[in-house]
Structure 1
Amino acid sequence: MYTLLIVYASWYPFTGWRDMGLQPWDYLWARLPYYWTGFDLWTNIVGYAPFGAFTVFALYPRIRSYWAVILSTIAGIALSVVMEGVQTYLPTRIPSNLDLITNSCGTLLGALLGAWTGRYFLRESRLLELRRRWFSREASRGLVVIGLWPLALIYPQNHLFGLGHLVPPLSSLLSDLLDTPIDLATWWTNSAQLTAEQYWLAEIIVTACGLTGAILTMLLLLRKQAPRNALTAFYLLAAVFIKSLACALFFAPENAFVWLTPGAAGGIIIGGLMLAGLSFAPPTAQRRIAGLALIFSLLATNAVPANPYFVSTLQTWVQGKFLNFDGAAQFLSVLWPFLALWFLYHPVHRKAAAPK
């Protein structure tokens, strides 16, 4: 999943592909760029460091110590070479050997950190013991899914927890295919006008269903002896914290809680009441209700026209130096509901998580 995010951030916005008469490896022998900033350097290092650490963890226990560091670093260098080389065919991107150097340094730093912390996370870790005690043995894929949910909330949504908004990316895709500007959101807004009360009700429904689907997906991974209430509260608070931090960073510090509208607050309350009862339901019922809640939230998110307040708010979304991160955040925001549904309805996952 992290590799996929690197690919998306490196090649975003995936439009305007053309051959400019350069070879994809010419940047390797070019002179180092004259203009660069410390922010760019640290972004590349920090962006590739988790890749190095995750690769070391993934190789364990077959490959350990310095061999894991070497292989992880080679993998990071190879990935960066491909990412930079393909940028040769994107007019909006510039391949850079300085980026390759900083990406490689980030991978090496992350690999060294992963090798140093491996015994704390993989062999003698209290977190690993809690993982075995609180979560089911087959919960690994589910942990990836629920771990991405708070990150998917970074990008602004029409409604709180209303992930999977397909209208903007579909408009962009159709515009590229037909070579003419197409805005599905404008067409839908002109054909369906809602009152303020209807917008408020739609936000309550989407928020409640999105919250219920995500939390029930997390509860499906827990064993009976796990502190369900504490983990649920921590999970929800972590999502709220990341959402507020993103709003403060990309809008303004005073807008950290701009997402807490009356409709969102009502949806959180209703979703909490639903979860209070559903937390005692059998796992099979939880799985089905979680899937239905996510499907209903997905349908409502794409069926309800964008709130004019949300449209004006999105116009103040500051991309700036985070332009590539903005594309990755939007991609994750659209992808997450489908990833969760894949986990909930896949036969292998249903069979593995079935009570013994």
Structure 2
Amino acid sequence: MPPVAPVNRRKRERPPLAPATRSSPITRAALLAYLFLIIYASWFPFSGWHNQGLSPLIFLETMKMPRYWTLFDAITNVIGYIPLGTLTVYALYPRIKGIWALLIAAACGALVSGTMEAVQTYLPTRVSSNLDFYTNAIGCALGGLIGVLTVRRLLDRSQLQRLRREWFAPHASQGLVLLALWPLAQIYPQNFLYGLGQILPILSDWLSQLLDMEIDLAGLIRPDVDLTVEQYWLSETIITACGMVGAGLTLLCLLRKPAPRGLLVCAMIAASVLVKGLATALLFSPENAFVWVTPGAEGGFLIGAIMLAGLTYAPHVAQRRLAVTTLLLGLVIINTTPANPYFVATLQTWVQGKFLNFNGAAQFLSLLWPFVAVWFLWLPSHKLNAAKVS
């Protein structure tokens, strides 16, 4: 009897990742999202537009420093534009790299910052500044340098890149950027936990200022009755559960079979709770870090967890449709439920101070996230269905 060859039980080593041959869709989507945040933060609150008789380039006509400025403002301007430069280099890779990518990132930073400052001359609540322009441009150039030094390690030979290919569908890039923004959307104070998209009060204020008359769009939809405590808690429970389930199902419908689905969903939800607590402690006071943990929020969180556990391995089509349904239901209820008087009183004591621009961008993100998520989930289904495991 011929000898049997010994079986090699060692795991076959995975081949190294091949160098990238095209730019990453994730970095392009992240760059676009960050650019929108910069625009919103720079032009917030978008009111009072008029020509003040000043040249749009007045901030470049003098070399003197602004009369009122602080080191905090300068550092914030530098840090705020670093991600823009880094993402620009990542989005250009591998077609353009090295010194040319750095130069393009620096030029883009100067162009974006100059445009923001020029348009601010038409906003009476904003003041264009040469210091802002220079510090923003420096921040973008630093970000470009960071991008040049890290792009190959992150986009060519990164373990994260391997996990991206193994765990997520090929066309999940835009969805991953959207889901990464969901915990950050919790920063701006909301009436309810995961109660994103409360846009009717904002639209009512804008229309009231435009038409010079009192307009309440939410009042046109909801009945003119006062909710009892139990009814208010029920609304809060539904809103919390819908927001949590909608975001969780959006993540689940992007995953391949080998992905640790429960772990990833739990990590995303834990990140949202952590960001919510830290933001509340920073914006108000440390003792109020978890003041948003109400009976309604607790009930909605429990219901959301049960629903996600039961739908973890549901077909992707079902997950996508249920995600759209829960997000739309949450939008309807959040925009028709009266504001909590305690929450309104709390907001009146909130001094935004130096974080005015940042809070404007955070509000913009919290308002638009569910609408963008619904639009993304309505994309052609072949972009959302996870590929079969080879």
Determine the C-alpha separation between the residues in 1 that align with 2:124 and 2:312. Answer: 51
Determine the C-alpha separation between the residues in 2 that align with 1:85 and 1:168. Answer: 30
Partner of 2:263: 230
Q: Gaps spanning 5+ residues in structure 1: where?
A: none
TM-superposed CA distance for 1:309, in Å, is 2.0
Determine the C-alpha separation between the residues in 2 that align with 1:316 and 1:95. Answer: 29
Partner of 1:62: 95
TM-superposed CA distance for 1:82, in Å, is 0.5
Change (3 A) 1:308 1:187: farther
Determine the C-alpha separation between the residues in 2 that align with 1:27 and 1:148. Answer: 33
Partner of 1:79: 112
Matched, 1:152 2:192: no
Contact 1:188/1:305 (8 A) holds in 2: no
Partner of 1:163: 196
Which one of 321, 329, 332 corresponds to residue 362 of structure 2? Answer: 329
Contact 2:188/2:362 (8 A) holds in 1: yes
The one-letter amino acid paired with 1:235 is: M
What SS is found at the alignment partner of 1:19? coil
Determine the C-alpha separation between the residues in 2 that align with 1:255 and 1:299. Answer: 28
Determine the C-alpha separation between the residues in 2 that align with 1:275 and 1:317. Answer: 35
Contact 1:189/1:306 (8 A) holds in 2: no
Partner of 1:316: 349
Determine the C-alpha separation between the residues in 1 that align with 2:54 and 2:289. Answer: 45
Matched, 1:269 2:302: yes
The one-letter amino acid paired with 1:322 is: F
Which one of 28, 36, 45 corresponds to residue 13 of structure 1? Answer: 45
TM-superposed CA distance for 1:182, in Å, is 4.0
Matched, 1:92 2:125: yes
Determine the C-alpha separation between the residues in 1 that align with 2:219 and 2:333. Answer: 17
Partner of 2:383: 352
Determine the C-alpha separation between the residues in 2 that align with 1:342 and 1:167. Answer: 19
The one-letter amino acid paired with 2:384 is: A
Determine the C-alpha separation between the residues in 2 that align with 1:32 and 1:156. Answer: 35
Name the TM-score, length of structure 1 as normaliser: 0.96
Name the TM-score, length of structure 2 as normaliser: 0.88
The one-letter amino acid paired with 2:99 is: Y
Structure number, greater radius of gyration: 2
Partner of 1:29: 61
The one-letter amino acid paired with 2:343 is: F
Contact 1:155/1:330 (8 A) holds in 2: yes
The 5 Å alignment of 1:85-124 reads 85-124=118-157
Q: Counting helix residues as a fraction of each chain, which structure ranks higher?
A: 1
TM-superposed CA distance for 1:353, in Å, is 2.5
TM-superposed CA distance for 1:235, in Å, is 0.8
Contact 1:185/1:306 (8 A) holds in 2: no
Q: Deviations over 1:76-129 (max 9, x none)?
A: 100000000010011110000010000001001111011111122111111111
Determine the C-alpha separation between the residues in 2 that align with 1:36 and 1:163. Answer: 34
Determine the C-alpha separation between the residues in 2 that align with 1:336 and 1:206. Answer: 15
Which one of 238, 247, 252 corresponds to residue 219 of structure 1? Answer: 252
The alignment yields a C-alpha RMSD, in angstroms, of: 1.6
Determine the C-alpha separation between the residues in 1 that align with 2:67 and 2:340. Answer: 45
Q: Deviations over 1:17-65 (max 9, x none)?
A: 1111111011101222132111100110111000000000000010001
Contact 1:192/1:305 (8 A) holds in 2: no
Determine the C-alpha separation between the residues in 2 that align with 1:216 and 1:269. Answer: 16
Determine the C-alpha separation between the residues in 2 that align with 1:183 and 1:69. Answer: 49
Determine the C-alpha separation between the residues in 2 that align with 1:189 and 1:249. Answer: 34
The one-letter amino acid paired with 2:333 is: A
Partner of 2:4: none
What SS is found at the alignment partner of 1:191? coil
What number of residue pairs does the alignment pair up? 354
The one-letter amino acid paired with 1:225 is: P
The one-letter amino acid paired with 1:47 is: G
Q: Percent identity?
A: 57
Q: Gaps spanning 5+ residues in structure 2: where?
A: 1-32
TM-superposed CA distance for 1:183, in Å, is 5.1
Matched, 1:44 2:81: no
Determine the C-alpha separation between the residues in 1 that align with 2:284 and 2:296. Answer: 21
Structure 1 range deviating more: 262-271 or 167-176: 167-176
